[in-house]
Amino acid sequence: MSNKAHMTGSERLGSQAILTIDLDALVANWRAMGARAAPAQCAAVVKADAYGIGVKPAALALSRAGCVSFFVAHINEAIHLRAILGAAPADIYCLNGLPDDSAAIAALLDADIFPVLGSATEWTLWQAQVPNRKAALHVDTGMNRLGISPAEAAVIGATPAADNVALVMSHFASSEEPDNPMNAAQHAAFDAVRQLFPHARASLANSSGVFLPSTPHYDLVRVGYAIYGGNPTPGAPNPMQSVVHLQAPIIQLREVEAGACVGYNSTWRAPSARRLATIGTGYADGLLRSASGSQEKPGAQACIGGMLCPIVGRVSMDLCVIDVTDAPVTATAPGALVELLGATIAIDDLAARANTIGYEILTSLSSRYYRQYVGG
């Protein structure tokens, strides 16, 4: 892609919000994580449509930058990614295991996908179906979600078939909390299992795990949230560049008197005469209802003319209201753009005010936005 903006869909019309995705920032974040993890290889996690930004432009930009290992959740995601990447060199890993479905297994083999086997049953099925084909092995070190136990890994590691394990991996449960003792416990458990598979590559660290001071990066790190601009070091400044920028136009401006209510169920009332702007973005667009502002709880914010202005009242399906009383009048005319995500409002800022995590903010990005890609 060139450095020009790449539009998707038809021409932008009316009150449609604009989602700008900076592929140069995405690549820069991946390179920064790779430099921190070196000499380990840096894989990109592109599941859930590349965390909502669009798997095709994201994967192509990362591949062109030199990324050769990708992780997705489902087989259909893996097959779609293989088609996107074409002949480009890429190891694609499917995290959610191996279904007992001959058609699904055949499709996985045809697309040259590595299943990440997460149970003893899946290991047995894989050996019965394709005994000479390599796969990844997920070991549960305390998360109790997916993965075989260390005891089951020891049994597999003692068999000749252990040479068919291309990658042994586990997943941190609390790596964003550097002082959480579970990190050290998981590292110790994984390190012991890793010794059972001397010919396999090893992978433990996710985005936040790359920043843990006492945990080795092994052979491969799997970075997702951080490369999309999320902060892998909560409580400290975000070392990542902003990737997602969301702007919405003001579609109506009004002045209300003290005591006037806004939105459904009158959850917010004006404390004094206020100036309000309505934008055509709501929870159907991914601006979560939990971002609403009420008398009891401040909601999310928008940046208008350099001023942070609160969302007031309930976010509805297609609309929300912003108190722009303190914003410059020249920045609040109908048609003026307000920032919901971007240089001023980070993903984690919006997430905190919506009582959620940045992952949900990203993966909720709507197809209704007018998307444009820059860089890459």
Catalytic residue among 4, 51, 264, 370: 264
Rounded to whole angstroms, the Cα distance separating 270 from 282 reads: 21
Any catalytic annotation for residue 47? Answer: yes
Domain formed by 244-374, architecture: Beta Barrel (2.40)
Quote the tokens at residue 307.
């001023």
Tokens (6 digits) for 22:
């900076």
The count of other CB atoms within 10 Å of the CB of residue 179 is 7
Per-residue pLDDT of the chain (376 residues; tens, 9 = 90+): 333 444 455 677 777 899 999 999 999 999 999 999 999 999 999 999 999 999 999 999 999 999 999 999 999 999 999 999 999 999 999 999 999 999 999 999 999 999 999 999 999 999 999 888 999 999 999 999 999 999 999 999 999 999 999 999 999 999 999 999 999 999 999 999 999 999 999 999 999 999 999 889 999 999 999 999 999 999 899 999 999 999 999 999 999 999 999 999 999 999 999 999 999 999 999 999 999 999 889 999 999 999 999 999 999 999 999 999 999 999 999 999 999 999 999 999 999 999 999 999 999 999 999 999 999 8
Phi, psi of 352, rounded to the nearest 5 degrees: -60, -40
Asked whether the bond before 237 is cis by omega within 30 degrees of 0, the reply is no
Helix and strand numbers (H, E) in the chain are 10, 19
CA–CA dist 223, 228 (Å, integer): 9
What are the beta bridge partners of residue 250? Answer: 279
Is 89:61 a contact under the CB 8 Å cutoff?
Answer: no
Q: Which residue spans of the chain are classified as CATH 3.20.20.10?
A: 39-228
Helix (H) / strand (E) element for 122: namely helix 120-129
For the chain, give the longest Cα–Cα distance. Answer: 78
Predicted local distance difference test score (pLDDT) of residue 13: 72
CATH classification for the domain delimited by 39-228, as one of 3.90.1150.10, 3.40.605.10, 3.20.20.10, 3.40.50.10260: 3.20.20.10
Q: Are 324 and 276 in contact (CB under 8 A)?
A: yes
Question: Within the chain, which residue ranges are assigned CATH 2.40.37.10?
Answer: 244-374
225 assigned to active site: no
Instruction: State the pLDDT at residue 353.
Output: 96
Going from the C-alpha of 368 to that of each of 106, 143, 280, the distances in angstroms are 35, 36, 11
pLDDT for position 15: 77
Determine whether 35 is exposed, middle or buried from the number of CB atoms within 10 Å of its CB (0-12, 13-18, 19+). exposed
Catalytic residue among 4, 47, 297, 359: 47
How many whole angstroms separate alpha carbon 175 and alpha carbon 373?
31
pLDDT of residue 7: 45
* CB of 278 closer than 8 Å to CB of 250: yes
On whether the CB atoms of residues 312 and 293 are closer than 8 A, the answer is yes
CA atoms within 13 A on the CB side of 259: 0
pLDDT (tens digit per residue) in 234-261: 989 999 999 999 999 999 999 999 999 9
CA atoms within 13 A on the CB side of 162: 19
- C-alpha 43: how far from its chain's center? 14
